[in-house]
Amino acid sequence: MTSKSFTFSHAICRKPSRSIVDGLRAVDTGAPDLKVFERHHQDYVAVLRETGAEVTVLDALDDFPDSVFVEDAALCLQEGAVIMRPGAPSRLGEAAAMAPHLDQLYGEVLRIEGDGFIEGGDILTTEREILIGLSARTDNAGVAEFSRLVDRWGYTVRVVDTPPDVLHFKTDCSLLDEDTILSTKRLDASGCFDGYKVIHTADGEEACANTIRFNNLVVMPAGFARTRDLLVQAGYDVREVGNSEAAKLDGGMSCLSLRFSPTA
């Protein structure tokens, strides 16, 4: 196993903007506090850098309230990157803004250019396949074009369903290692992780399903002690990061970075 699905030399993040208070949200639980968000974001970047990775932090984009959630704009693989086509019209410009940065790092940057939509938050890359959950932001046409693009790099794409009323597929799951997924019970019940080992989030702690495995660390939102203890007992080195403000905009740990090891 190469562990390329969670071993990274680089990450890209973007500072939260002053317009973050206007960010999209499925349920309005109040506007995020920019100062608190900035502090949490700095802590997040520090944890990624703790692993020795090169972390680029881009300037805030006030024209795009949700631009701190860079994962939706692109998918970065070892062989190349794919610029997404977000399903929310207000976010289309975020993908275009990310493209020049990836052009500097990769020999090949592809783009979703058809009529379909696809966001990085619906894509889970494992050692054996790429899982894509259909959602309000990712449709069949977007998945079909993405599949054609990454076929040149030898990736297998499998389409799965996102639970009703869940924004993104990875809202409810994350990769822990070559064979193990952290998942809510409701998502695992669909059978989409057959063949993998699955650790369930503790009852009532489904909101922490979106973690990231970044090199030797599992980075998870703070405040979910029972799930944290499950991960520690399973042998993972866990770092907790505040996520209260990102959560008001349906954001989690994976949303805040692009993680990759470009080979060209």
Q: Which residues are catalytic?
A: 168, 255
Of 245, 250, 223, whose CA–CA distance to 35 is shortest?
245
Compute how many other C-beta atoms are within 10 angstroms of the C-beta atom of residue 259: 24
Instruction: Give the bridge partners for 146, in sequence order.
Output: none
CA atoms within 13 A on the CB side of 107: 5
Of 239, 244, 263, whose CA–CA distance to 48 is shortest?
239
Of 258, 211, 261, 212, whose CA–CA distance to 75 is shortest?
258
Instruction: Give the bridge partners for 214, in sequence order.
Output: 217
Residues 92-112 as b/e (b if ≥16 CB within 10 A, e otherwise) read eebbebbeebbeebbebbbbb
Relative to beta strand 212-214, strand 197-200 is unpaired
Tell me how far apart the alpha carbons of residues 97 and 116 are, in angstroms, rounded to a whole number.
19
Q: Which two tokens stand for residue 79?
A: 């062989």
CA 83 to chain centre: 14
